[in-house]
Amino acid sequence: MCGIIAYKGKDKAISVILEGLKNLEYRGYDSWGIACKSNPSIVLTKGVGNIGEVTEEEIKSELYKGKPLTIGIGHTRWATHGGVTKENAHPHQSENHRVAVVHNGIIENFEELKAKLKNIKFKSETDTEVIPQLLQYHMESRKDFEKAFVDTLKELQGNYAVVAIDQQSDKVLFGKVGSPLVIGKKEDEYFVASDIPAFLKHTNQVIYLEDGEYGSIGDSLKIYKLSNNQIINKDVQTVDWNLEQAQKGEYPHFMIKEIMEQRDSITRALEQKNSNLLKVIEMMKKAKGIFLVGCGTSFHACVSASYNFSHIAKAHVNIVLASEFRNYEEFLTDESLMIAVSQSGETADLIDAVKVAKAKGVKIISLVNVMGSTLKRMSDESLLMNAGPEICVCSTKNYTSQLAILLLLAYGFADRLEEGKELIQSAANKVEELIKNNLDKIKDLAKKLKDNKNMFLIGRDLAYPSALEGALKIKEVSYIHAEGFAGGELKHGTIALIEEGTPVITLATPETEQLINSNAIEIKSRGGYIIGIGSKKHEVYDFYIEVPNFKQANPLLMIVPIQLLAYYLAVERNCNPDKPRNLAKSVTVR
């Protein structure tokens, strides 16, 4: 969940690390910290809250002692072990202050390690602090920094990405198991980070680390296998993201920028190599049992896809929440196929599900947005979403990119690939017009609804997963309780919650409008305020948003007004839509 940035290079460690942390704030914004090597000591500063407003001058006043700072580490935290306090903020130091460490993940055996280090006084409540203390323990046994680091990593259990510096060494050490870590390279400068946007301003040349690898940056970069200390030669890859994509530009928030980008991001989702698409489709046709697996927003995309596989390809696919997937392992064989869907490719529950599947010989296809992610590297085949960096914690453009690719696969399964491409592109071309025609109306609706405590969204068929996703967006950023469910379930309990003025968003497709409008009439008779979204207005609606009919591609468009409503509800309620409380972009802990 947390964000890591480390730097070794020229005389600008503070500015690079501060800038990197601001670019990683979507990974955690409870607290932050920076440590730099300043001979003969390590200088350290920490703070609680967002780092976005912290200036370089403030950091320099804390860290700069008139000596060049060329080595440093930084961290922005999403709390897991220990409360949100300055003491719990990273970096953490050893008791003797010789080493400093930043960490993303969870050390599952931290209590056992603390017991081993019983003579050391711990200052925080975190699991992370065992790492620098264990480093000190090994270094006291006359082991040098790098040897002690390797021995420390070998004692850690759980998922981790770790970076460490030593006041008596000019090396930056790093290692990972389960949590993301990527290296950026630019001539005589090196960056180590949780995600590429941390250093994208400086370089797009990256090296992706695999689990069980560690390394050092001294006079040069060296990477090794943790299991046998064997050196590894890694390829440098070029990332085609650009800095402009990772910045807000003229927009007040990343969320609204990313909503507005969806015509282009859906179009880019279609830009798949035909050979790759056909290979994936052939794998699906040969499989005996297909599982669509995801978490949160990605799971909703899977639900929508399952309907389209039925409607278009007359094919059955299983949909499973990644966190529950291990309950299906007895059904898996080497003829099964998993399609794993994730924006980041680092979601812990999904990675765990993939490991369960691979142990049974299941073939893995991934839909992912990050080229060098753990999920992509674990997959037999992968299709990239091509959405560009998505910085807002809640997913918008990646959701519609997932919908587009999954819909394309359904058409491909039915041997109608070109028809699918044309339909999806036609829907994408309507996104800007849809936003333009409804933006002012949605702003007014947000003003009207902002004080409500509860909201419901109902749909049938393809509109049902859109209702699920719409409710999630509203909850995530505005903190209004929103519940999405199938319209046919209304009378099975939920209608008891309808009171005078309760807002209910009804999502109607031409195939379901008669039934869903019947549900809307039932709700209105009990005092509900009906917001209709669809291609045809009905007299039961108190408020109507028109969305053109694009048949099986309707989910691509009907979600856009709800994304906008969620955003403007957040703005009206003075919530930061980019940084919802208690959430982080990439859920790398289970």
User: Residue 223 belongs to a domain with what CATH number?
Assistant: 3.60.20.10
Task: Report if residue 583 sits inside a domain.
Answer: no
Q: Is 590 among the domain residues? A: no
Q: Quick one: pLDDT at residue 245?
A: 61
Q: Give the model confidence (pLDDT) of 62-86 as tens digits.
A: 887 777 889 999 999 877 777 888 8
Please indicate, yes or no, if residue 44 is contained in any of the structural domains: yes
Comparing CA positions, the residue from 477, 505, 454, 470 lying closest to residue 572 is: 477
Mean pLDDT for 385-391 is: 85
Q: Would you call 223 helix, strand, or coil by DSSP? A: strand
Residues 258 and 212 in one domain: no
C-beta pairs of 65-69 under 8 Å, 24+ apart in sequence:
65/38, 67/38, 67/39, 68/11, 69/11, 69/12, 69/13, 69/14, 69/36, 69/37, 69/38, 69/43
* Residue 178 DSSP symbol: B
**Does the pLDDT value for residue 497 go beyond 70?**
yes
Q: Assign 442 a pLDDT band (cuts: 50, 70, 90).
A: very high
Q: What is the pLDDT of residues 161-182, one digit of tens each?
A: 999 999 999 999 999 987 889 9
Which run of H or of E encompasses 76? Answer: strand 71-77
Backbone angles phi, psi at 96, to 5 degrees: -90, 5
Active site residues: 2, 585
pLDDT of residue 242: 63
State the pLDDT at residue 244.
58
pLDDT at residue 24, rounded to an integer: 84
Q: What's the half-sphere exposure (Cβ side, CA atoms, 13 Å) at 411?
A: 20
Contacts 24+ apart (CB under 8 A), 250-254: 253/392, 253/567, 253/576, 253/577, 253/578, 254/26, 254/390, 254/391, 254/392, 254/578
Q: Do 263 and 183 fall within a single domain? A: no
Strand partners, 158: 107
In a domain, 561, yes or no: yes
In whole angstroms, how large is the CA radius of gyration of the chain? 25
Q: Which of 120, 126, 83 is nearest to 104 (CA)?
A: 126
* 235 CB neighbour count, 10 Å cutoff: 7
| 529 or 29, higher pLDDT | 529
- Give the number of other Cβ atoms within 10 Å of residue 518's Cβ: 12
Shared domain check, 186 and 125: yes
Count of residues making up the chain = 590
- In the chain, the number of structural domains is 3
pLDDT band (50, 70, 90) for residue 240: confident
Please report, for the domain that includes residue 535, its CATH number. Answer: 3.40.50.10490
Same domain, 401 and 294: yes
* Per-residue pLDDT tens digits for 519-575: 999 999 899 999 999 999 999 999 999 999 999 999 999 999 999 999 999 999 999
Other CB atoms within 10 A of residue 118 CB: 7
- Picking from 404, 429, 454, the residue at the C-terminal end of a domain is 429
Judge whether 59 lies within some domain.
Answer: yes
CA distance 209 to 230: 14
361 and 414 in a common domain = yes
Indicate whether 26 pLDDT > 80. Answer: no
Q: Indicate if the pLDDT at residue 58 is higher than 70.
A: yes
Domain match, 202 and 91 both: yes
Q: Pick the closest to residue 78 from 1, 170, 181, 164 (CA basis).
A: 1
CA distance 577 to 584: 12
pLDDT at 74: 93
Give the residue numbers spanning the domain of 566.
435-577
Residue 217, phi-psi category: left (phi > 0), alpha (psi -120 to 50), beta (remainder): beta
**pTM of the shown model:** 0.76
The Cα 35–Cα 426 span in angstroms is 51
The residue that leads in pLDDT, 464 or 274, is 464
Q: Does residue 470 sit in the same domain as residue 521?
A: yes
First CA to last CA across the chain, in angstroms? 10
- How distant, in Å, are the alpha carbons of 460, 463, 495, 531 from that of 457? 11, 10, 12, 9
Between vectors from CA 573 to CA 402 and to CA 447, what angle results, nearest 5°? 90
180 versus 383: the higher-pLDDT residue is 383
Task: Give yes or no for residue 455 having a pLDDT over 70.
Answer: yes
Q: How far is CA 562 from CA 142, 217, 546, in A?
A: 61, 47, 12
**Mean pLDDT of all residues in 477-487:** 95
Q: Give 23's pLDDT tier (boundaries 50, 70, 90).
A: confident
Which amino acid, one-letter code, is at 492? H
Cα separation, 199 vs 166, whole angstroms: 22
Q: What is the pLDDT of residues 299-339, one digit of tens each?
A: 999 999 999 999 999 999 999 999 999 999 998 999 999 99
pLDDT digits (tens, 9 = 90+) for 396-424: 999 999 999 999 999 999 999 999 999 99
Helix ranges (DSSP H) in 178-322: 254-260, 262-269, 274-286, 296-313
Structure confidence at residue 297 (pLDDT): 96
Based on the domain organization, do 396 and 527 belong to the same domain? no
Q: Is residue 584 situated within a structural domain?
A: no
With a cut of 70, say whether residue 588 has pLDDT above it: no
What pLDDT is stored for residue 585 in this prediction? 59
Same domain flag for 198 and 345: no
The residue behind tokens 């957040």 is 570
**Number of helices and strands in the chain (H, E):** 17, 25
**In the chain, pLDDT over 90 holds for what percent of residues?**
69
Judge contact between 488 and 460, C-beta under 8 A: yes
Same domain, 413 and 500: no
pLDDT number for residue 179? 83
The domain boundary residue, chosen from 183, 216, 239: 239
Q: Which two tokens stand for residue 328?
A: 């299906």
Round to whole Å and give the CA distance between 280 and 265: 21
pLDDT of residue 414: 97
Q: What is the pLDDT of residue 243?
A: 56
pLDDT over 90 at 50, yes or no: no
> Of 396, 405, 356, 411, which Cα lies nearest the Cα of 378?
356
Packed helices 417-428 and 554-572: angle between N→C axes, nearest 10 degrees: 30
**Residue tagged 């409360």 (tokens):** 83
* pLDDT tens readout for residues 252-302: 999 999 999 999 999 989 988 888 899 999 999 999 999 999 999 999 999
Alpha carbon of 157 to those of 76, 99, 145, 358: distances in Å? 22, 21, 20, 21
Domain termination residue (choose one: 174, 206, 239): 239
Alpha-carbon distance 73 to 589, whole Å? 22
Taking residues 373-389, report their average pLDDT: 89
Question: Among 49-58, 346-355, 404-413, which is the least confidently predicted range?
Answer: 49-58
pLDDT of residue 437 exceeding 80: yes
Residue 90 forms part of a structural domain: yes
The rounded percent of the chain whose pLDDT value lies above 70 is 97
Asked if residue 72 belongs to a domain, the reply is yes
Which pLDDT belongs to residue 77? 86
Strand 172-177 to strand 158-166: parallel, antiparallel, or no bridges (unpaired)?
A: antiparallel
Mean pLDDT score of the chain, rounded to an integer? 91
DSSP state of 329: G
**d(C-alpha 535, C-alpha 552), whole Å:** 13
Is the domain of 323 the same as that of 414?
yes
Is residue 101 domain-shared with residue 11, that is, in the same domain? yes
